[in-house]
Amino acid sequence: MSALVSLHLLAAVVWVGGMFFALMVLRPSVGPLPPPERLRLWSGVFSRFFPWVWVSIAVLLGSGYGLIFFFYGGFAGADVHIHLMQVTGLAMTALFIYLYFTPWRRFRDAVASDAFADAAKDLNRIRLIVTVNLVIGLLTVIAGAGGRFW
């Protein structure tokens, strides 16, 4: 069980921590850059971060359901905070899938073709989705860390 919990925790830290870093540290730091440079930088950042999000999702789902079935004996044995983590985790995953296959692809293609006005619009959509996912992710971390004490 400790291996599954450790993997689950590490995957959550990578995903939620990456979103926090992107919004709270990187975004304000690159604001002064000219739009073409800023948008190219974001394209490079996302190209490197999003594969880690996919890995995190796979690990979170695998370890989470592993814990539910092997430790709790199924959904009926899981506490409320476990169900909350499942719902919020699936919502975050759905938002990321949409982000990846819609605004991210348009953003990436717009940057590659130097269509920076279009890229900026999609970057704003990405930022909004990441902001929502960060809030959900932080609430999920609270549920995971403290839920058994509720």
Q: Please report, for the chain, the start and end positions of each structural domain, with discontinuous segments joined by +.
A: 2-149
The per-residue pLDDT of the chain, averaged, comes to 98
pLDDT value for 143: 96
* pLDDT tens track for 14-44: 999 999 999 999 999 999 999 999 999 999 9
pTM of the prediction? 0.95
Longest dimension (CA), the chain: 55
| Cβ pair 133, 19 in contact under 8 A | yes
Distance CA 143, CA 150 (A): 9
Nearest to 130 by CA among 37, 50, 47: 50
Count of other CB atoms within 10 angstroms of residue 64: 21
CA distance 103 to 122: 5
What are 69-83's pLDDT values in tens digits? Answer: 999 999 999 999 999
CATH class of this structure's domain 2-149:
mainly alpha
Tell me the C-alpha to C-alpha distance, in Å, between residue 4 and each of 18, 53, 69, 140, 142. Answer: 21, 18, 12, 17, 18
Q: Record the tokens describing residue 2, joined without a space.
A: 């400790």
- Read off the pLDDT band of 1 (50, 70, 90): confident
Residues 6+ apart with CB under 8 A from 31: 38
pLDDT tens digit string along 89-134? 999 999 999 999 999 999 999 999 999 999 999 999 999 999 999 9
Structure token digits, residue 54: 């996919």
CA distance 12 to 58: 11
Number of DSSP helices (H) and strands (E) in the chain, helices first: 6, 0
CA 2 to chain CA centroid, nearest Å: 23
